[in-house]
Structure 1
Amino acid sequence: MKKLLHLLFTAMIVIGFTSFASAQSSGSTKVVYHIDDAEIQGLKGLRNIRNHLDTSPQTMIIVVTHANGVDLLMEGAKDKKNNVDYAPLVGALKSRGVKFEVCEITLKNRNLKKDQFTLDADFTPSGVVRVADLQYKDGFAYIKP
């Protein structure tokens, strides 16, 4: 009986490992970058994403912004400390397949309009819900620069 249980346990481990390995190798990595403060995370986040894609170009990346993070995607936005415009960096990443999303709750709370944002921005009803759904429902890894 012990031998049978040992064999059964070993078989379950092998099957489980094989399933896990095949799930890990299928498809590309999916990552959500969470930006809630453009002043602190903006330039660093965009550089992290560029480096991420330079190393792993097949990675699917979605950037979700809310609160002060939406400032990253506003027309004319720039990193004040380094005097760097965000738009060219965002555009270059968008051309590499990165999606940029702005929280509509933040727009409402800050009295912002969609036309104040770059054409590279998409909108999501709730940034926090979007981050949670991408992680839990869609299997995205989470990075907060």
Structure 2
Amino acid sequence: MYRTLKTTLIALGLAAACTLALAQDKVVYHIDNADMQATKGLRNVRNHLDVAPDTKIVVVTHAEGVDFLLEGAKDKKNPNIEYGPLVSALKARGVRFEVCEITLKNRNLKKDAFSLDAEFTPSGVVRIGQLQTREGYGYIKP
């Protein structure tokens, strides 16, 4: 009986180790103020992928955080920085950018005002919670 228990525990340990080894890093970046977080957040995401290119990243935006995903948006502090090309480059590397539909309703924004790289989620806050609790994403707020 001891031998069977020992064998079972070893098998479970190996299975857990294999699962962890095969697990992909997953991170959600939370942006709710584009003026304060967009440039820094996009730089963080780029650096993150430069070091860990297999990381699955979702950027969830709501409130004033959606502004950098508007078509033609630029950094207010440095107007030479246009967000569209930065977002497109990260999208090409597998990053998802999601915009809160509650924010759209509250701010009277239309989906067609956003970059084609943006996707939409019913609630940014709910989406962040789901990514963390249901899908095991780590949380980063730049």
**Is 1:140 aligned to residue 107 of structure 2?**
no
Secondary structure of 2:78's match?
Answer: coil
Q: Which runs of 4+ in 1 moved over 3 A?
A: 14-21
Cα displacement string for residues 57-113 of structure 1 (whole angstroms, at most 9, x for unaligned residues): 111111000000000100111111122111110000000010000000000000000
**Aligned-residue offset at 1:22:** 2.8
Report what 2:65 is aligned to: 69
Q: Deviations over 1:105-133 (max 9, x none)?
A: 00000000001100000000000000000
Q: Which residue of 2 aligns with 1:48?
A: 44
Q: Aligned-residue CA RMSD in angstroms?
A: 1.8
Structure 2 unaligned blocks of 5 or more: none
What secondary structure sits across from 1:115 in the alignment? Answer: helix
Instruction: Please list every run of 5 or more consecutive structure 1 residues that lacks an aligned counterpart in the other structure.
Output: none
Could you tell me which residue of structure 2 aligns to residue 57 of structure 1?
53
The count of corresponding residues between Structure 1 and Structure 2 is 137
Q: TM-score, normalised by structure 1?
A: 0.87
Alpha-carbon distance in 1 for matches of 2:26, 2:11: 25
Q: Which residue of 1 aligns with 2:125?
A: 128
User: Given residue 87 of structure 1, which amino acid in structure 2 is its aligned partner?
Assistant: G
